[in-house]
Structure 1
């Protein structure tokens, strides 16, 4: 016997996945519901079962994108066993999760207030996670006694520039490379000195 409920759920998931792939590749401002339905090879009425308007459909799809990205990033971080690894893994994984987003998608995301607000909320949440990792690292002595909130805000500001493609325009780095550079520079700046480094610093100060 066919489970119509399960079939319906899979169909909705497949539609959202197809819609997400299309929007990530080409953006969404230029599409109407009729063209979206045509590209997805379904009817307009089928799309309207997902949301009552194009705007709501876009918001639901972008929400799905960020939720999936968050799950991927958190799954990767769960395997990290130190504060430094968690910061590096988190930032690199964010870059990997967002890599499929085209310039057109990001431009449309920023131009449409509801999706821009979703993006801003997700960036703020990412900054809080980075701050948690840094705070834990400071407490354990793995990181220097830095202001975790400032370090997280610094990371969030750069994350915003990366996702707006400003870093790529200025440096030529793609998103994944930019996130790796951010992870490297941020952790190098807050890493606690080794015992040998600390002893060398004390000796140098005493000898001066």
Structure 2
């Protein structure tokens, strides 16, 4: 590897580390009130280093939120791939969604809801997750590991609940945070898919 390639690799690794550090800060504290100067101090880097990640604070928020959801999606898919039984896969999928959302503070979710580009990323990920649950249900029906249900209906129902979680309606009416709501959703869906004796 040439010195230019080494430097390029180091730069890429450092950028990924900074994004991961920003994910941790944003999840814990939200992002709306931070300035780039404050973030640079927190991460012990220069402001120009942050500008190397994104051209503005808004673009940096988008990059960090994307990073969070990309990492979460990878973790969710890895966990859902392990079980053979489709009900267990659906449980693993939804519980891992809950696990990935657990570190997110109310401030993070409030900022996510208030900033349209970040809210859209969350909404796209929610829609993808609902479609994935529908796919898992359909596969389970075909394989005979879940009772015969209308997979599209289950997908629509899951998407509706996920969207309500995303919009903060579940928290407002039940007091459950997003992670706890996903755990309840997993229990409800998997219990509903159990073969009838």
TM-score (norm 2): 0.90
Matches of 1:26 and 1:180 in 2, distance apart?
23
Q: Which moved more, 1:52-61 or 1:176-185?
A: 176-185
Q: How many aligned positions are there?
A: 194
Match of 2:42 among 39, 52, 56: 39
CA RMSD, aligned part only?
1.9
Q: Separation in 1 of the partners of 2:172 and 2:121? A: 24
* CA deviation map 1:48-100 (0-9, x unaligned): 01111111111011000000000000111111111101111100000001111
Structure whose alpha-carbon radius of gyration is higher: 1
Alignment of 1:2-21 (within 5 A): 3-21=6-24
Equivalent position SS for 2:53 = coil
CA distance in 1, matches of 2:108, 2:178: 14
**Structure 2 residue aligned with 1:151:** 154
Unaligned runs of 5+ in 2: none
Runs of 4 or more off by more than 6 Å in structure 1? none
Offset, 1:32: 1.7
Alignment partner, residue 87 of structure 1: 90
Q: Distance in 1 between matches of 2:156 and 2:110?
A: 23
What is the aligned partner in structure 1 of residue 53 from structure 2?
50
Check whether the contact 1:25–1:101 (CA below 8 A) recurs between aligned residues. yes
TM-score between the two structures when normalised by the length of structure 1? 0.85
2:104 corresponds to which residue? 101
Within 2, Cα distance between the matches of 1:8 and 1:114? 27
Instruction: Name the CA distance, whole Å, in 1 between partners of 2:163 and 2:83.
Output: 24
In structure 2, C-alpha distance between the alignment counterparts of 1:120 and 1:163, rounded to whole Å:
7
Which residue among 74, 77, 80 is the counterpart of 2:80?
A: 77
**Which of 118, 127, 132 is matched with 1:129 structurally?**
132
Structure 1, 139-148 or 64-73: larger mean CA deviation: 139-148
* Contact 1:92 1:183 (8 Å CA) reproduced: yes
Output the CA distance in 2 between the equivalents of 1:69 and 1:48. Answer: 25
Is the CA contact 2:166–2:178 (under 8 Å) kept in the aligned structure 1?
yes
**Residues 83 and 134 in structure 1, CA contact (< 8 A), matched pair in contact too:** yes
